[in-house]
Structure 1
Amino acid sequence: MGTKNDVFVYDKSSSTFEFLLDNLVDSIKGWNYFVNWSKVKENVKDIEIELNILNYLIGKENIREELKYLLRRNPEIIRAIPFLIASRDNKFEILNLGANNTFSLEIFDFNKKFLKESDIENIINFIEKTGLMELFKDKTIKNLVDYVFGVEVGLDSNGRKNRSGTAMEDLIETFLKNICSKYGYEYFTQATPTKIKSEWGYNVTVDKSERRFDFAVNTGKKLFLIETNYYGGGGSKLKATAGEYKTLFDVLNGDGHEFIWITDGKGWLTASRPLQETFNHNKYILNLKMIELGILEEILLGKLDIR
């Protein structure tokens, strides 16, 4: 049974699988999901001097001549210009269609340390055609440091998908770190067979050459390999993942190692059949609720050995 005297017990019963499905979470977003403020501040600080020099241009009437003056005197300011148009690139190839319907490429390079007069004209042309010139002139932007801070916040929002992708790993690592510290176990993340061999001497056979486990744990008696993921929505990938981890379990079991799959998310409600097939086949499939109840700790301690 999945419960005993109101205490959850992990086994291979249907009630355990029902517990798995009944306790899937809607979200694993943490407070760090929204904005990585330290990264934003670091990115702005990296170009703050250049931005303050460019502040000189705000409100000037003869922007072209003032730009020439600044670029001749402080050529390093060009590295800040791509940030003003919310770009991480520092070299651009722009396709132009000429009057005679022929295409040409204009190249703008903001990596240069020294600027010739032709480079300065090229950069001014870029600033003009991207609309930055007017922003400087009509004082739409009051302070470039504050402006780029806002730009960086916007660019960082693009990292939310990546933060969601690693959120499950971050949650599990919190538990793993505590367990390993408590019992003197060793673990590391993004574990490759090569690293496992060099660090601990275990040979690990993999089902694909680029296999990189989310976690590897060495208890001193046994090697545990852990994969984690979260699926908030359905799709064909869930069925494929369930099948992949059935195969992976067989490969690792043949080496004498333990494989733990930790997954969560309401997406599994749309793919419960392939999940149940893998649950019945593999030894350990856990969700966050089971981790919270101490099942991962029991497994690593060797107190829970499903045959």
Structure 2
Amino acid sequence: MKYLPFYTVLGVPEEKVFTNFIGNLKTSIKVWDYFVNWDKVNKNVEQVKIELNILNSLIGSTDIKKDFIHLVMKYPEVIKTLPVLLAVRDNKLEVIRDYKKGDLDYFIFDFKFKSSMSQNDAEKYFTFISESGLIDLFLDKKIKNFVDYVYGVEVGLDSNGRKNRGGSLMEEIVEVLVLKSIDNNSNLDFISQATPKKIKYKWSYQVKFDKSARSYDFAVFNKSTEKLFLMETNFYNGGGSKLKSVCGEFKTLHNELSSQGVEMIWITDGKGWLTTQRPLEETFNNNNYVLNLYLLKKGILDEIFNQ
């Protein structure tokens, strides 16, 4: 039964299966949502929009210290915007006073909502905008509107999440293709983020593994054949020594699950594998199912799930 779906779907001889696999690795899995999560950006800006508009009144101030202190005492809620202006998410900051003079004690700033503000506290927050350089945004008229400015900040902060989005994109893409196969067969059932506990609860199927809390990306159960398929996904743009250990991990995982009669499906892609072909080929030849997105697009999951 090993590799039967490859022959069926691709129509290539056994000795060409891995070559075909390598030749169809993708260079990218970027989708439109990868670049900026605009819903998140808009939501974050909306949460501080009123306070930012209040701060706008300070732009171009000729007596910024006096005006800032007066403003935050009257509208203490505006201080929650100050970390955002520095592209910082934290609402509490500890800043070393002056390491150049050997002073390693902290200024401690709390930016959580306050209903009132004392003169001393207001002066403390003025120290924050002064020492952090934020004061220049008010004095030099480098910006015209803090709301527009924070939109830019939020887009920049969101771009830092691209690495995490890249990791989850492969999972999202595979899930769409898996669900297409599920829709084509009423005997198939599906859960995502499948732990052994969830699997046992849903299908009364006991999966034993030395890491009992392990979560598999997807689990598919054929109610007709009572066959369980556990699926893991990943995508690698770059190579490196890590990929060799990844191959070893999925080889061991396959052997452990196979001994229990569970089918392990590893779906991986990316040109990073071009630098680590030998370890990948060893796992490819050991495991029943090492797939890429090209094979999924060809409908190989229908072949596998229906065996």
Normalised by the length of structure 1, the TM-score is 0.91
Q: Verify the 8 A CA contact 1:249 1:259 in the aligned structure 2.
A: yes
Taking the aligned partners of 1:145 and 1:119, their CA distance within structure 2 comes to 25
Q: Which residue of 1 aligns with 2:126?
A: 124
Q: Are 1:265 and 2:270 counterparts?
A: yes
Code of the aligned partner of 1:179: S
- Map 1:194-233; keep pairs closer than 5 Å: 194-220=197-223, 221-233=226-238
Q: Verify the 8 A CA contact 1:262 1:288 in the aligned structure 2.
A: yes
Q: Verify the 8 A CA contact 1:28 1:168 in the aligned structure 2.
A: yes
1:52-88: CA deviation from partner (whole Å, max 9, x where unpaired):
1111111221122222222122211111111111111
Q: Are 1:109 and 2:118 counterparts?
A: no
Match of 2:175 among 166, 173, 176: 173
Q: Verify the 8 A CA contact 1:95 1:103 in the aligned structure 2.
A: yes
Q: 1:246 to 1:98 in 2, by over 3 A?
A: closer
Q: Verify the 8 A CA contact 2:196 2:213 in the aligned structure 1.
A: no
Q: Which residue of 1 aligns with 2:156?
A: 154
Match of 1:235 among 230, 233, 240: 240
SS in 1 for 2:184: helix
SS in 2 for 1:279: helix
- Map 1:83-102; keep pairs closer than 5 Å: 83-97=84-98, 101-102=102-103
How far residue 9 of structure 1 moved from its aligned partner, in angstroms, is 4.3
Q: Verify the 8 A CA contact 2:96 2:103 in the aligned structure 1.
A: no
How far residue 207 of structure 1 moved from its aligned partner, in angstroms, is 4.2
Taking the aligned partners of 1:20 and 1:192, their CA distance within structure 2 comes to 29
How far residue 222 of structure 1 moved from its aligned partner, in angstroms, is 2.0
Q: 1:251 to 1:138 in 2, by over 3 A?
A: same
Code of the aligned partner of 1:206: F
Q: Verify the 8 A CA contact 1:10 1:295 in the aligned structure 2.
A: no
Taking the aligned partners of 2:103 and 2:42, their CA distance within structure 1 comes to 44
Q: Select between 152-161 and 130-139 the one with higher mean Cα deviation.
A: 130-139
How far residue 99 of structure 1 moved from its aligned partner, in angstroms, is 8.0
SS in 2 for 1:183: coil
Taking the aligned partners of 1:57 and 1:96, their CA distance within structure 2 comes to 26
SS in 2 for 1:172: helix
Q: Tell me the matched-pair count.
A: 299
Code of the aligned partner of 2:143: I
Q: Which residue of 2 aligns with 1:305?
A: none
Taking the aligned partners of 2:99 and 2:237, their CA distance within structure 1 comes to 49
1:148-187: CA deviation from partner (whole Å, max 9, x where unpaired):
0011111111111111111211110111122223324332
How far residue 199 of structure 1 moved from its aligned partner, in angstroms, is 2.5
Q: Are 1:297 and 2:302 counterparts?
A: yes
Code of the aligned partner of 1:201: S
| Residue identity (%) | 50
Q: Which residue of 1 aligns with 2:142?
A: 140
Q: Verify the 8 A CA contact 1:242 1:278 in the aligned structure 2.
A: yes
Q: Are 1:288 and 2:293 counterparts?
A: yes
Q: Verify the 8 A CA contact 2:87 2:157 in the aligned structure 1.
A: yes
Code of the aligned partner of 1:227: E
SS in 2 for 1:255: coil
Structure 1 outlier segments of 4+, above 4 Å? 1-4
For structure 1, the 5+ residue unaligned runs are 303-307
Q: Verify the 8 A CA contact 1:203 1:255 in the aligned structure 2.
A: no
Taking the aligned partners of 2:197 and 2:99, their CA distance within structure 1 comes to 55
SS in 2 for 1:47: helix
Q: Verify the 8 A CA contact 1:207 1:247 in the aligned structure 2.
A: no
Taking the aligned partners of 1:214 and 1:43, their CA distance within structure 2 comes to 30
Taking the aligned partners of 2:101 and 2:19, their CA distance within structure 1 comes to 69
Q: Verify the 8 A CA contact 1:214 1:226 in the aligned structure 2.
A: yes
Q: 1:252 to 1:150 in 2, by over 3 A?
A: same
Code of the aligned partner of 2:293: L
Q: Which residue of 2 aligns with 1:250?
A: 255
Q: Select between 85-94 and 183-192 the one with higher mean Cα deviation.
A: 183-192
